[in-house]
Every structure is written in C-alpha cells, then in structure tokens.
Amino acid sequence: MNNMIHEECGVLGIFRKDAGPLARLAYDGLFALQHRGQESCGIVLNDDGLFYSHKDLGLVGEVFSKDVLKRFPQGNMAVGHVRYGTTGALNRANCQPVEVNHQKGKLAIAHNGNLSNAWELRNALEMRGAIFHGTSDTEIIAYLITQERLRCRDIETAVAAAAGRLEGAFSLVVMSAAKMIAVRDPHGFRPLCYGMRPDHTYVIASESCALESVGARFIRDVAPGELIVWDNDGIRCQVLPGSDIRRSRCIFEYIYFARPDSVIDGISVHEARKQAGRILAETSPAEADLVIGVPDSGLDAALGYSAASRIPYGIGLIKNKYIGRTFIVPGQDERMNAVHLKLNPVKNAVNGKRIILIDDSIVRGTTSGQIVSMLRAAGAKEIHMRISSPPFLHPCYYGTDIDSEDNLIANHHTVDQIKEIIGADSLAYLPVERLYQLSGTEEICDACFSGNYPTQKPVHSSKERFDRRLSERYNKE
C-alpha cells in the first residue's frame, strides 16, 4: 500500500475515420487509467480539424460531469490524459493534453514519462525566445515538435525528429488535424499499447486495461523506439533513429504502478506479482500460519508466496475503498491515524497467528510500522514482513516521484535496522538479481534499486526544478 510513490501519467488516443461520440469513450478510457494520475485530467477532441478541449484539476469523474461531456461534439479523434505531476507544480498550466497552434496547423500532445535532458532542452529553447506557460517536460516536447514541423514535410517526420532530441522516458500520443501518432522511447521505460473496437475505432493507451474498458481488443504493444501513425490512408509504422539500444522497461510498473489486469510487453502484471511472491517464498522462507497481502498491490504477491510455501492465504487487512485523493486528515496529530482510516485488520483472521505480511515496497517505513503495529494489536503472534521489490536506494528520473534519497529509509538504514524500526519479527526483500524474472527479460530498468541508470543522470531532477528557477528569476527582476 504504497501511498508515497506515484506514477506520473496515463495517456489515451482514439482514432476513427468517421465522426462518432468519442468524448464518452475517452472518458471511459481515462477512468480505467485513473490509478496512473489523480491530480488532473483532460480530453482534446478533434472534429474534422477543429479541436475542443476540457482540462482541469481533479479526478476524471469530477472534471467530466455529464454536462461537460455533452458539450463535446462528435469527432473522429481524441487525446486524453490523467496526471500526477512529478515535475511541475500542481496547477492548471500543467494540465494535459498540451495544445499548440502553429504556423502549419495544430497539435494536442499527451505524455507519460520524464526527460533526463529536460533542463538542457528548456534552457536552449528559452535562450532562443521560447515562452513556457507551465513547468512540465511536455511543453518542451511540444516546442520541439513544433520547431521540427516548420521544417519537415509532415507531422510524423517532425515527431520522429523531435524524439531524436529527447533523452529519458516518453510514451507519447500526438494528434494533428488529420493524424494520430503514438511514440514510445527507445528504452521503452513506460508502457504503451493499442487495440481496436469492433466498429474499427483504434484506441491507444498506457495500459491494456483501458482498451478493454472501451470495448477494444488488444492488438499489440507499441515497441520501444517505434512510431505509429493512423490516418485516412491507414496505419504506418517506423523505427526511430537510435533505437538499437538495450531496452529498459520500468520493472516497478509490474510491481506496483500498473493495474494487475493489464498486460505489458506480453507479461501479465498479475502473474509478475505472483512470481515475486514465489521468489520471496524461495529466498526468504519463514515458519508461519497465514500469508496476507497489503491491499492492493501486495495481494497478488501474497497469493504467489502462499502457493509456493503451501502456507494458507487469507484476507488479513481490509482497505476502505471510499477514501480517495480528496480525504483530508484533520491535523498533524491525526496524521498517524491516516493508515488506520485506510486499512483495518480482520481480527478473526490474524488473532493468535504467525503472519507472513507481503507489501510492494517500503519508502519511509512509517506506513509499514503502522501496519505491523495494528496487526499486533489485532492479536498477531509473529509478523514476518516480505517486500515484493528490492530496497529503494536511489531516485527515479523517468516519470515517478521517487526524487530524493533522503526520503528513502533503505538508503541510510540496514535491513536489520528497518526491521527494528517497523517492529517486524523478520524482514526480507526481493533480491535485485531476481527482478528480471518478473518481466521475463533482462532488458529492464531497475535503477531505483541498483543505481544502474540507463541514461545520463539529469542535471537537475527535483520535482520543482523549473518552479524554483522561475521564482529565483522573478525575485531578481
């Protein structure tokens, strides 16, 4: 139950040759991607070259009321986005999709990921007079595509040329007046896939769960380094220059970020989590009576641990489904109780038992400590905590908000010390060298666990990097 690490965004694109009621379809798709971003959302709909948009802070169900959806006309393309801002302050200027009107037409862009060369790119653009409204990396991408569009023969050539100047993570959906384009960076950090509805509407989404929610059949993942175009002439694919590099798919998508009913690059997220549980049972066995998982992402791993260890699986913690982003903890003193409001132990299940408790990760240790103490209060005799990821030691630069080593308990404590801090009887993590067995390939990014970054580290990486720079400048003027 990691409430401290967030995925940045979810993206969605819809293309069909004739006009249809796409706003509702986009709404349904974004609803299925809500777990990837809860701070803001937006839809831009294309009705024969005219763009209609609505974006705001809030959840999909809050921002898109029935009245708002009704105001959208029919259209033949749409781009959607849900955002948790890993870079850029929480404000409307950073809501996506980003829209651009330029000399040759218009664009709407939705982006998932973070660039590792954003600082250099933005500096260079600003030195040539570029004006930015917000502080997200997506505006930089929009600028580069627009610059390239002014000298390239078509939008897909412009997007490919701009992509060649980006480093880091970008899964993009780009809509022009007549074309829909999907691009995934050559490392393949963030997922992106597409499918088709029976009425020949194509749907592109960050995760396959969103395709199913709009009645589309999964066709395939967008390959790392691939650019795909949909227009009235059909579908065309091309490989981005410089794509013959080692892939670095984010392994934490499988452990925590993605929905368990999604399939990423051919691997079921649910199965990957069960596999993590099986590995933990093999590498860190313990004598116990019951295996329980911390909802939601610890549950699948607990199933795997139980199956491999033959220790019965049970439901030991119940999550309050109605606590959302808008829940306000009344004050500092009450903050310690926040975990109790989200989770409650099932006393009958845990009382008098030796428990294996599985969670996806430990960030600061506060939440884990509270869960352990609430299980003890409910009568658990022993608590053996098993974590379905290795210890978090390093920040992530590719689209999540693990941005400071100071916040990572494992960075300055040993496993034994963490065990004492959280009050467990034993503690063990998934071995970092076994991570690849979750995704079935060694071509993964595990930098936040291993420190092996697949790209150059960014010059500045903090979440507020551009906000701080702006305020420094304003203070001088």
DSSP state of 233: T
Our finding on whether 84 is near ligand SF4 (CB under 6 A) is no
Locate 180 and state its tokens: 């829909």
Our finding on whether 250 is near ligand SF4 (CB under 6 A) is yes
Candidate list 23, 172, 204, 251; residue touching ligand SF4; CB under 6 A? 251
Identify residue 306 by its one-letter amino acid code.
S
User: In whole angstroms, what is the distance from residue 66 CA to residue 230 CA?
Assistant: 29
- Per DSSP, helices labelled H in 268-325 are 269-283, 299-309
Our finding on whether 264 is near ligand SF4 (CB under 6 A) is no
Minimum Å distance from CB 431 to ligand SF4?
15
Minimum Å distance from CB 130 to ligand SF4?
28
Our finding on whether 400 is near ligand SF4 (CB under 6 A) is yes
**Applying CB under 6 A, which part among 25-33, 304-312, 331-339, 394-402 lies near ligand SF4?**
394-402
> In which residue are the tokens 């404590």 written?
413
Minimum Å distance from CB 400 to ligand SF4?
5
Minimum Å distance from CB 300 to ligand SF4?
18
Our finding on whether 387 is near ligand SF4 (CB under 6 A) is no
Give 100 or 396: the residue with its C-beta nearer to ligand SF4.
Answer: 396
Inter-helix orientation angle 299-309/269-283, to 10° = 50
Candidate list 227, 339, 424, 448; residue touching ligand SF4; CB under 6 A? 448
CB atoms within 10 A of CB 402: 22
Our finding on whether 438 is near ligand SF4 (CB under 6 A) is no
User: In whole angstroms, what is the distance from residue 43 CA to residue 82 CA?
Assistant: 9
User: In whole angstroms, what is the distance from residue 330 CA to residue 323 CA?
Assistant: 14
Active site residue ranges: 9
SS3 402: coil
Give 306 or 455: the residue with its C-beta nearer to ligand SF4.
Answer: 455
Give 113 or 304: the residue with its C-beta nearer to ligand SF4.
Answer: 113
**Applying CB under 6 A, which part among 12-20, 77-85, 175-183, 443-451 lies near ligand SF4?**
443-451
Our finding on whether 290 is near ligand SF4 (CB under 6 A) is no
Q: What residues contact residue 184 under an 8 Å CB cut-off, 6+ apart?
A: 170, 171, 172, 190, 192, 222, 223, 224, 225, 226
**Applying CB under 6 A, which part among 143-151, 202-210, 244-252, 380-388 lies near ligand SF4?**
244-252
Minimum Å distance from CB 461 to ligand SF4?
11
Burial call 335-364: b when 16+ CB within 10 Å, e when fewer: eeebbbebbebeeebbeebbbbbbbbbbbe
Minimum Å distance from CB 168 to ligand SF4?
9
Q: How many of the chain's residues bind ligand SF4 (CB under 6 A)? A: 11
> In which residue are the tokens 């409910």 written?
378
Q: Across the strands, what pairs with 359?
A: 387
Our finding on whether 189 is near ligand SF4 (CB under 6 A) is yes
SS3 162: helix
**Applying CB under 6 A, which part among 87-95, 271-279, 363-371, 445-453 lies near ligand SF4?**
445-453
DSSP state of 311: P
Decide if 63 contacts 41 (C-beta within 8 A): yes
**Applying CB under 6 A, which part among 88-96, 146-154, 246-254, 319-327 lies near ligand SF4?**
246-254
Candidate list 353, 445, 455, 465; residue touching ligand SF4; CB under 6 A? 445
Q: How far does the chain reach from its first CA to its final CA, in angstroms?
A: 45
Our finding on whether 396 is near ligand SF4 (CB under 6 A) is yes
Candidate list 167, 231, 360, 446; residue touching ligand SF4; CB under 6 A? 446
Beta-strand (E) ranges in 40-179?
40-47, 50-57, 75-83, 98-102, 105-112, 171-176
Spell out, one character per residue from 146 to 185, where the chain touches ligand SF4: x when CB under 6 A holds, - when not: ----------------------------------------
Dihedral sign, CA of 181, 245, 9, 358? positive
Decide if 448 contacts 394 (C-beta within 8 A): yes
Q: Which of these, 466, 438, 454, lies nearest to 133 by C-alpha position?
A: 466
Candidate list 447, 458, 465, 466; residue touching ligand SF4; CB under 6 A? 447
Q: Residues in the chain, how many?
A: 477
Give 18 or 433: the residue with its C-beta nearer to ligand SF4.
Answer: 433
Minimum Å distance from CB 172 to ligand SF4?
16
Q: Which of residues 306-345 bind ligand SF4 (CB under 6 A)?
A: none
Q: Across the strands, what pairs with 306?
A: none
CA distances from 372 to 161, 170, 219, 237, 249 (A): 52, 38, 43, 51, 32
Give 250 or 383: the residue with its C-beta nearer to ligand SF4.
Answer: 250
Candidate list 398, 403, 422, 458; residue touching ligand SF4; CB under 6 A? 398
**Binding positions for ligand SF4, rule: CB under 6 A:** 189, 250-252, 396, 398, 400, 445-448
